[in-house]
Amino acid sequence: MNLKIAVLAGDGIGPEISRQGVNVMKAVCEKFNHTVIFKEAICGADAIDKVGDPFPEETYNICKNADAVLFSAVGDPKFDNDPTAKVRPEQGLLAMRKKLGLFANIRPVQTFKCLLHKSPLRAEIVDGADFICIRELTGGMYFGEKYQDDEKAFDTNMYTRPEIERILKVAFEYAMKRRKHLTVVDKANVLASSRLWRKIAQEMAPAYPEVATDYMYVDNAAMRMIQEPRFFDVMVTENTFGDILTDEGSCISGSMGLLPSASTGSGTPVFEPIHGSWPQAKGKNIANPIAQILSVAMLFEHFDLMEEGKLIREAVDASLDANIRTPEIQIENGQKYGTTEVGQWIVDYILSH
């Protein structure tokens, strides 16, 4: 297979983990006789510094003409600490999703047997947790009408039927491929937008009779994720709730550095780790590359290259079992491995198996 991949390394630890993702992809393509062409592009704070735009037109064109985007992270403290900044790195991420028509964010939440002790929850609660959060990405408060002055501010949480139907279709189809259980998360007891979500979900559910569909208020869902994460199989929700719940879900595994995600829709799909740019770790060779590497597995699987994705997952599991880990998940008194060393170990495993 021939693949054209846009590589957006971004800010902070982005370039370091991006290199490991690219190296893993090259190794898999070598192993399975695929051809891959990478084209790098700027985004985030890096792009603001260079051209004044966090998602410049040239970057958009590179993404639009690629088969997939391998994205890393954006964000920089100089913008976080300046509430008056008119342009922010995160605006580039929102622009990318909007311009590429990426309305569905797919975030798997899973645990690793050898890392159960790293979870802030008891091992018996998280052991076996394996679910997917599907978050609507291009609607709701993040994109609705906004206003702010010194006395008043508002953000409009608006959704239309077509926006809701298309994300629910994605969710029902994922549930059909998994354990056939879908939880629709909303706040229908308070919000009109949530009542429309629930109404449409109830209308669509009979088309998927094999799927057990239930409905849960977002506050209850947040509590249930901590109390009983194994309850969930596929969870679907709107943009703001999804942003919060997916970060909560990431804690279950014990490290945000372990979980990948995909954003899909009508345009070029984007594959990325769920964590941010962690600027404090920039250049220190301590960032965990596994989330980035597993996002490469999701990329291959998106194109039905399942054996390729399986080998990457096997290599990641083997690295964790062998204690080839970055500091935040290393066992006590274990050997120290950096971003580069973990990535290289996984590449070597792929090429030798």
* pLDDT band for position 211 (cuts 50, 70, 90): very high
What distances in angstroms separate CA 264 from CA 102, 166, 268, 272, 302, one per listed residue?
A: 5, 11, 7, 12, 10
The predicted pLDDT at position 81 comes to 72
Per the residue annotation, which of 50, 113, 199, 219 is the catalytic one?
219
Residue 145 neighbours by CB distance under 10 Å: 10
Per the residue annotation, which of 49, 67, 155, 243 is the catalytic one?
243
Which of these ranges, 14-23, 150-159, 172-181, 330-339, has the smallest mean pLDDT? 330-339
The predicted pLDDT at position 257 comes to 86
Domain boundaries, the chain: 1-102+266-353, 103-264
Question: So what's the architecture of 1-102+266-353 in CATH?
Answer: 3-Layer(aba) Sandwich (3.40)
* pLDDT band for position 106 (cuts 50, 70, 90): very high
| Max Cα distance, the chain (Å) | 63
Mean pLDDT confidence for 318-337:
92
Helix H, strand E, coil C: the string for 124-168 is: HHHCCCEEEEEEECCCHHHCCCEEECCCCEEECCCCCHHHHHHHH
pLDDT digits (tens, 9 = 90+) for 53-99: 999 999 999 999 999 999 999 999 888 777 677 788 888 888 998 89
Q: Does residue 261 have a pLDDT over 80? A: yes
| pTM (predicted TM-score) | 0.89
- Residues forming beta bridges with residue 6, ordered by sequence position: 39, 69
Q: How far apart are CA 48 and CA 43, in angstroms?
A: 8
The predicted pLDDT at position 87 comes to 87
The predicted pLDDT at position 6 comes to 98
Which of these ranges, 36-40, 240-244, 251-255, 290-294, has the smallest mean pLDDT? 251-255
**pLDDT > 90 fraction of the chain, expressed in percent and rounded:** 83
Query: What does the chain come to in residues?
Result: 353
CATH classification of 103-264 is 3.60.10.10, yes or no? no
CATH fold match for the domains 1-102+266-353 and 103-264: yes
Average confidence score pLDDT of the chain? 94
Per the residue annotation, which of 46, 159, 187, 349 is the catalytic one?
187
pLDDT digits (tens, 9 = 90+) for 119-140: 889 999 999 999 999 999 999 9
Q: Does residue 310 have a pLDDT over 80? A: yes
3-class secondary-structure state, position 203: helix
Per the residue annotation, which of 60, 142, 159, 208 is the catalytic one?
142
The predicted pLDDT at position 193 comes to 97
Q: Does residue 223 have a pLDDT over 90? A: yes
Is residue 243 among the annotated active site residues?
A: yes
Mean pLDDT confidence for 6-16:
97
- The first and second tokens of residue 197, run together, are 């979500």
pLDDT digits (tens, 9 = 90+) for 27-45: 999 999 999 999 999 999 9
Is residue 49 among the annotated active site residues?
A: no
Is residue 155 among the annotated active site residues?
A: no
Is residue 187 among the annotated active site residues?
A: yes
**pLDDT > 70 fraction of the chain, expressed in percent and rounded:** 99
Is residue 82 among the annotated active site residues?
A: no
The predicted pLDDT at position 143 comes to 87
Please report, in angstroms and rounded to a whole number, the separation of the first and last CA atoms in the chain: 20
Per the residue annotation, which of 49, 127, 247, 317 is the catalytic one?
247
Q: What is the dihedral of CA 332, 334, 338, 341, to 10 degrees?
A: -150
